[in-house]
Amino acid sequence: MSVPIGLQLGTTPDVPLYHIDRFRMKLPPLSPRIASLLKAELHLHLEGAIAPTTVCALAARHGVALAEEEVRRRYDYQNFAEFIEAFKWVTSFLHEPGDYALIAERLAEHLLSQNVAYAEVTLSIGVMLLRKQQPEANFEALLRATEPFQHRGLRLRWIFDAVRQFGPEAARAVVETARNCQSNAIVAFGIGGDEMSLPTADFRRVYDRAREFGFHALIHAGEVGGPDKIREAIELLGVERIGHGIAAIHDPALMDLLTERKIPLEVCPASNLRTGALARQLNREHARIEDHPLPTLFRRGIPVVLSTDDPAMFHTNLEQEYTNAARMGLRGNELARIAQMSFDHAFSAIGGKPAA
């Protein structure tokens, strides 16, 4: 981590505050046509959607007095390492099933406000297990909390996520937990965390096990790593979607492979900017949202779905991500096609279409 987590960004010379301020500039409104479309979101971490006010509420539940300004200060970062430290800090306030019920309910309200009809939400089961929690109880609580939202037009499905740097045995425990939950609402197994930490091949048997239980497969790859990480994920693990995958821009043959096999990239522009992943892929000190390769990937014929990743922690929402895509030069008909792709490439048994 380049900046101690307790320090405000901008107080050290290697993290210039002007870069953050520029990103916060007010964006032009999204066209009414695109804003009114029903949308799906497929790359969304429940724990990364905890708003500062909710963090304060969680802390208070466990006897910790926390000012909202402190949360906002910790949500200010520019690179991936700082984000991971903030993520670890936020999840430290999640202790029991009621905590997960609270954040799931508030996420559902947020999604409805963004005209989202369907979402596949990633749960950090690997972190729950590390902290000796009972993921089955946490999951049952959030299912009960979000069930009423289906009657309001929002269908939620869940992805159980392992942490790559915890190793293959810990990842296998996540798969076994998903099986133990015996819920049709769990649609996939995935791996996040530090994609550079362990060889992709180490997780081959874990993904085989997940498929035995009927779970779809995905992984974070090509976010800060190179295109080789994406290719390994496809060829060694047989994944069906790639989280982020922006490194594909460096490998024309890989882009052809993604196009031919119709393997979607879950693209999260604000996340890529805030973590420094975009600047890293472009080999620049700083990057602008207009520099994002999303238009090139999409126009190459690669399926892409637009998502927020960790919306509260990256100060974004789905409408802003579509606005970001428009700033990159994507036209209205292209944005509408991307919105449809998010339903087309959902893991739901009925194809992710909005419930009648």
181-216: b or e for each residue (b if 16 or more CB lie within 10 Å)?
A: beeebbbbbbbbbbbeebebeebeebbebbeeeebb
Position 27 scores a pLDDT of 55
Best CA proximity match to 91, nearest among 206, 199, 236, 193: 193
Q: Which residues contact 286 (CB under 8 A, 6 or more apart)?
A: 19, 279
Position 32 scores a pLDDT of 87
What is the CATH code for 33-344? 3.20.20.140
Position 82 scores a pLDDT of 81
Neighbours of 105 (CB within 10 A): 17
Contact between residue 217 and residue 189 where contact means Cβ atoms under 8 Å apart: yes
Position 85 scores a pLDDT of 86
Half-sphere exposure at residue 105, Cβ-oriented, CA atoms within 13 angstroms: 13
Position 81 scores a pLDDT of 76
State pTM to two decimals: 0.88
Best CA proximity match to 321, nearest among 289, 291, 287: 289
Half-sphere exposure at residue 29, Cβ-oriented, CA atoms within 13 angstroms: 5
Neighbours of 18 (CB within 10 A): 9
Sequence spans of domains, the chain: 33-344
Walking along the chain (356 residues) 10 residues at a time, the average pLDDT comes out as 26 30 53 92 97 95 91 83 84 95 98 96 96 97 97 97 97 98 97 94 98 97 97 98 98 98 98 93 95 98 97 95 96 96 84 36
The 3-state DSSP class for residue 304 equals: strand
Distance CA 131, CA 135 (A): 10
Enzyme catalytic residues = 223
Q: What share of the chain is helix, strand, coil (3-state, %, to 5)?
A: 50, 15, 35
| HEC sequence for 49-64 | HCCHHHHHHHHHHCCC
Distance CA 349, CA 9 (A): 44
